[in-house]
Structure 1
Amino acid sequence: MHDDTWDAALHRLQRQAQAHVLISVVGAEGSTPREPGAKMVVTADACHDTLGGGRFEYQAIARAREMLAAAARGECVATPCLEAFPLGGRSGQCCGGHVSVLFERFAGASMHVALFGAGHVARALVPLLAPLPWHVHWFDSRPDAFDAVEPSPRVDCRPLDAEAPAEDIDALPAGSHALVMTHDHDQDRRLVEALLGRPDIASLGLIGSRSKWASFRRRLREAGIDDSALARVRCPIGIPGADGKRPYEIALAVAAELLTFANAAPHATHRGVTPPQWRDVTGRRATY
């Protein structure tokens, strides 16, 4: 349990694009640990504020973490959702009241972007991405690459071992969108080869011309990469028809392309609390 109040934690976690669940007591009957309006915030490894403690709170925390884990696996998780906690029957608490709880899952980062290289295009691209609810994992092998970069809560600047990038790539979240644009073509090729070893990378873009990709494709094929894997690579990157050569023009085209991928993300089959859920928890018919 952390010392943050739920509202302070909510503000911080949303700025950092970290996944979390806001749990709210929306109804109480009989003797209950807290009144309606009590809230707490739960992440995968921390809790902020309290619903009153006891087995009921532990069950609510466990339910919130189930939602976070399912979303991290790429499953569609309906949110918000209502659940009933009869304290005697479900939670084994002697006070014997009844609590209705609303769970609201916040994805934190709705998309993860792995950006390799901190050259002119990347430096133009990151400020375009930073205000979005995305998390940018930004890598560069040069020790001074990020010296002049302004810190941002949703941009994580990391050193890259250019000779052995597998550890950094293995740590990327499933479903990340990778962009390779380092200062060195050999490094680009090694990164593309390593990223193709992650079939759960959602997309893989390589900066450069069609002739650059033709050269890379030949060498990657010689290294044993099959054509179905190579077909996952986009080169050039950016939306079709945006042919500008200035770094900012390329960055705009790439940002627009990433937005098309974000809009294609799967959604839950329904949104919010369903009428049957409402009836099950409250015993009342929902009015919409």
Structure 2
Amino acid sequence: MEVWPRIEAMIEAGVACVLVSVVATRGSVPREAGARMIVRPDGAFHGTIGGGALEWQAQAHAQALLSGNEPARLIGQALGPDLGQCCGGHVTLLAERFIATDLATVRQLAAQERLGAFRTMAELRDGRVVRKVLTGAADDLAVGGPVFLEAWGDTRTTLLLFGSGHVGRALVLALAPLPVRVLWWDGRQGAFPPAIPASVLVVAGHWQALLDAAPEATQVLVMTHSHALDLAIVAAALADPRGLDVGLIGSASKRARFAGRLREAGLPDDRIAALRCPIGIPGLAGKEPAVIAASVAAECLILAGHRATTATVQRPTARRA
């Protein structure tokens, strides 16, 4: 969830808010450390720390901060004894209020988040939260109260989406709230809808240039208006030496036809076998665009998780002399 740019926008609009963060957990709990929500004076909120009684109590603490002079508070909740929840674990929350006088600090953190993921060390000192942006493992903060290591900014999967038909349009809506950065291409004039989610970037130019500029671990989904164009993009994506994840909309028979063409073009069998077609997770009935989009969005997250796990397991270790 985007945090500091959203808080920045609220303060600039004259709206105070409270950031509630899960800073420590023990045992079975609804959300992990790092889960956050932003609470407004009107009761609206963004994000979640787990729902149910825990979130209800956190919102009450947030409203108390907004109506008083206390800038921050640390809240410990034993989910079973305190809230009657079945999880039975313990959660420590940090709630902190942001008002107009905090705008300069918030702007610095918002600018940092726009650059990408980063870490801070936060210390609760004399009832206020003091943060330091970490630039290396050796960074320290003078300890005068509870100290927490914080991670900010989403680690987003990059998805190249070729085609803006019904399924493509449904898919960008399904992916909008998820940690996925969509680069959307369609060579036809006027092919895109008038309203596009902020997490989606429409890309002009030739499709090959988009493919060439793609970062590592990019996912490619092909669903253009033309089977010939689909084949050209799929062939180029499968031939890419980075081993991109490639999906093609269509049936098993379309996949069989494409596999034959790809083999004729000289692509190796292991890359042809890697082509996903049909796309989406199995077991979901229905061919409506929204249903297909939900299935493909779930598959996108599964693939991203698998890549992250594989990268962690296969990360090379330092060689000994």
Question: Which consecutive unaligned segments of at least 5 residues does structure 2 have?
Answer: 1-102, 313-321
134, 155, 159: which one aligns with 2:180: 134
Q: Are positions 1:157 and 2:202 aligned together?
A: yes
1:204-263 deviation digits (Å, cap 9, x = unpaired):
110011111111111111111111111110111111122422212211221122232233
**Equivalent pair of 2:122/2:149 in contact (CA under 8 Å):** no
Question: Which consecutive unaligned segments of at least 5 residues does structure 1 have?
Answer: 29-35, 41-59, 64-81, 86-97, 270-288
253, 262, 268: which one aligns with 1:211: 253
Q: Are positions 1:83 and 2:141 aligned together?
A: no
Tell me the distance in 1 between the aligned counterparts of 2:104 and 2:121.
Answer: 13
Indicate the residue corresponding to 2:162 in structure 1.
116
Tell me the distance in 2 between the aligned counterparts of 1:237 and 1:256.
Answer: 11
| TM-score, normalised with respect to structure 1 | 0.61
Indicate the residue corresponding to 1:221 in structure 2.
263
**Equivalent pair of 1:84/1:99 in contact (CA under 8 Å):** no
Q: Are positions 1:8 and 2:63 aligned together?
A: no
Tell me the distance in 2 between the aligned counterparts of 1:131 and 1:199.
Answer: 31
Identical residues among aligned pairs (%): 38
Indicate the residue corresponding to 1:67 in structure 2.
none
Tell me the distance in 2 between the aligned counterparts of 1:205 and 1:261.
Answer: 11
Alignment of 1:95-106 (within 5 A): 104-106=150-152
1:40-64 deviation digits (Å, cap 9, x = unpaired):
5xxxxxxxxxxxxxxxxxxx65x4x
From the superposition, tell whether residues 104 and 119 of structure 1 become closer, same or farther in structure 2 (CA, over 3 Å): same
1:127-182 deviation digits (Å, cap 9, x = unpaired):
11001122111111112122x24233311111252xxx322101111101111001
**Equivalent pair of 1:116/1:181 in contact (CA under 8 Å):** yes
Alignment of 1:175-190 (within 5 A): 175-190=217-232
**Equivalent pair of 1:138/1:158 in contact (CA under 8 Å):** yes
27, 37, 50: which one aligns with 2:130: 37
Q: Residue 229 of structure 2 aligns to which amino acid in structure 1? A: Q
Tell me the distance in 2 between the aligned counterparts of 1:247 and 1:149.
Answer: 18
| TM-score, normalised with respect to structure 2 | 0.55
Tell me the distance in 1 between the aligned counterparts of 2:267 and 2:105.
Answer: 49
**Equivalent pair of 2:163/2:224 in contact (CA under 8 Å):** yes
Q: Residue 297 of structure 2 aligns to which amino acid in structure 1? A: A
Tell me the distance in 2 between the aligned counterparts of 1:5 and 1:200.
Answer: 42
From the superposition, tell whether residues 104 and 247 of structure 1 become closer, same or farther in structure 2 (CA, over 3 Å): same
Tell me the distance in 1 between the aligned counterparts of 2:112 and 2:177.
Answer: 14
From the superposition, tell whether residues 152 and 112 of structure 1 become closer, same or farther in structure 2 (CA, over 3 Å): same
Q: How many residues end up aligned between the 2 structures?
A: 204
